[in-house]
Structures are given as C-alpha cells and as structure tokens.
Amino acid sequence: MLIAATFSANAQITITSADMPSVGSSYVLSTAGVFDGFDFTETGSGYTWNYSTLTSTGQNTRTYSNISSAPFTYQFLFNNPFDQAHLASYTIQTEGFSVAQVSFENFYEFYKNSSADFRIVGYGATVNSLPVPAQTNPTDVVYDFPMDMGSTNESYSEWPISIPTLGSYLLKQTRSYEVDGYGTLVLPNGTYECLRLKMDIAANDSLYVDALGFGFSLPRNSTEYHWLAAGQGVPVLKAVYNLGFASQVTYLDSPINVSEITTPTFQVFPTAANEVIQVTNSLNQQMDARIFSISGELVMNETNVRVLNTAHLANGMYVVELSTAGHLHRQQIVIAH
C-alpha cells in the first residue's frame, strides 16, 4: 500500500482541453513579490516545488466570458461561424499595454479551446478612443494537446492593426515550449499535482507613424514557467523571466482583503527619449533604477531617482528596471539623440 501511494503521488498527469477554462470560469490570481529568493527554474521528474511561503502583494480576477459580452465591434471577427479559424470560445478583459507612446486600453483577448489545442485567435483594444479589433494570423497556439512530460510545441503568430489617426502596429511572435517536469507543487492555498513547462517567447513590436514617414521595431524576449494542474483552468503558478531575472510571479489563490495590500503602478515617460526619462509610481515610493542594453549589459544604476539622464547613452533599445518595496517593473525604451 505504501509503494502504491508513493507511485500515485509522483505519477505524472496529462493536460487536455478539458483542463482549460470554460465560459463563466473565474479565477483569483495573486501577484507575489519577486525578491523572495525563490528559483523558479528548478524542475525534474517526480519533483516537489515548495513555494508555500509566497506572499501576495496584490490580486486580480480573470473571468472568461461569452463572446457576446464583448463590444459589438468585435463580434464579426470572433463570433462568426463562417470563420472557424477565428471563432472564439470565450474572451477575457485584461490590463492593456503601451508601445512607445501608444496606449492599448480596454484590452480583450479572444481564445479558442479545442481538442487539438488552446490558442489566441485575436485581440481588441481601444486606441485613440476607438475600438480596434484584429485577428492573429497565423493564430497563436499557447498549448498543444495532449500535454505530457517531454511534450514540445512551437507556434508563430502575427497581430497587425491599423491605428486611427496615427499609423500601424505589428506584433510578430514565436512561442516555443517543452514540458520539462512533473510532480507536486505546494502553494499558500494548497497542493497540486502538476506538469511544468518552460516557454520561450521571442517577440517584435513594430510601430509605423504616418505623419513622420518612418517606424521602428522593439524586440523583446522572455521565458515563462507554467505549472498546470488537472481541472484548474489556468496555470496554478506562472513565473516570467526577463534578462535572467524573475519579473512577474502569479499564482492561483483564494480571495483576501485587498485593502491590506497595494501594488504600485509604474510609469516610464517618454519611452522614446533623447536626454532624460521620468520615472514614477502610484504610491509615491522611493525607487531604484537600472538600465540594461538590449544584450543585457548594465549601463546605468541609480538609487532613489525620479529622473534618469540618458544623454550619454548611445542610440538604440534599452530596458529600464524599476524596483521598490518588493515590486519590480521592466520596460523597453528607445534612445534617439
């Protein structure tokens, strides 16, 4: 009986489409501090990952909603039975993002879940006060089914959109992963039998400005580690690494009193600069700042700053890293004198 129990506890699981979200599914995700000293790269067969002491610094809820709940402008592209490739199973609304000084707000992601794979078929965002939907072509395969120890997959996708009154934006991305571990994951809210996968993402953001008659591109590479458990819908733990350091850690959790925790919002302005960059956070906390070249070389290291003097930096792309009170923010910038 002891041998059987030990085998059961260390037996690997298989992840299929049945383990992905369904319409109406809602998940509470906690954000953990990235300075807690954990190494999320460790893995193996029959491995035990003990992250029971992760501390929540903020929470958000991801709800997978029926496509009919999305803005009407998006319905034709993602709720069209005559376009099965982009017929979405559901949508979620998430935080937007910025490229240079263009903000993508009220951001929607559209997913298709099938027996073969789980993929992103497109996005929708408000840009310059107008809703702008666009399909991914080819579509972006996140997971290929079934997933077992040793499973691999690679997917290339593009997301092109026209930005009203400005120009155009194009995201090119290659997503590749390998399931490199299985075992027991211990989190603050419970224990899960998981598959662990390492996912490398090589992306390139291109922005063309009509009024200026030129554009630029921003390459960005990251590595994500996902822990997937049967029937849980979303990764029960996800760690994102940039330049070899953990930049974001989220895990499945139970609701807590969010008034007791506050996550600062960081701002780097402008992201296309020549001599100075202003850095702030919503909690008005002191910040340390580092700037890395795109190859990972540290070119600036400042403490307790609000303004960064970049006049001495050569033209090119850099990564600004801001840290304060257990929080870390990284953002790409362009220096053009």
- Can you give the residue ranges of every domain in the chain? 12-260, 266-335
- Whether the predicted pLDDT of 239 surpasses 80: yes
Written as six digits, the tokens of 93 are 């609304």
Identify the three-state secondary structure at position 198.
strand
How far is C-alpha 242 from the geometric centre of its chain's CA atoms?
11
Q: Give this prediction's pTM.
A: 0.79
What is the share, in percent, of the chain residues with pLDDT greater than 90? Answer: 47
Task: Please give the CATH topology (third level) of the domain spanning 12-260.
Answer: YmcC-like fold (2.40.360)
User: Scanning the structure block, which residue is given the tokens 């067969």?
Assistant: 45
Q: What is 266-335's CATH number?
A: 2.60.40.10
| Kind of pairing between the strands at 272-273 and 327-335 | parallel
Among 3-7, 24-28, 130-134, the least confident range: 3-7
Residue 219, preceding bond cis, omega within 30 degrees? no
- How far is residue 131's CA from residue 196's CA, in Å, rounded to a whole number? 37
Order the strands of the 272-273 sheet from edge to edge: 272-273, 327-335, 316-324, 288-293, 298-302
Task: Quote the CA–CA distance of 104 and 78 in Å, as a whole number.
Answer: 19
Strands of the sheet containing 266-269, edge to edge, are 266-269, 276-281, 307-309
Q: Does the pLDDT of residue 336 top 60, yes or no?
A: yes
Q: What pLDDT, on the 0 to 100 scale, is given for residue 179?
A: 98
Rounded to 5°, the CA angle 65-71-72 comes to 115
pLDDT at residue 267, as a whole number: 78
Q: Over the stretch 206-222, which tens digit does the pLDDT of each residue have?
A: 888 887 777 878 888 99
What pLDDT, on a 0 to 100 scale, did the predictor assign at position 292? 83
Average pLDDT, the chain: 86
Structure tokens at 55: 């501390």
The predicted-structure confidence for 75-85, as pLDDT tens digits, reads as follows: 889 999 999 99
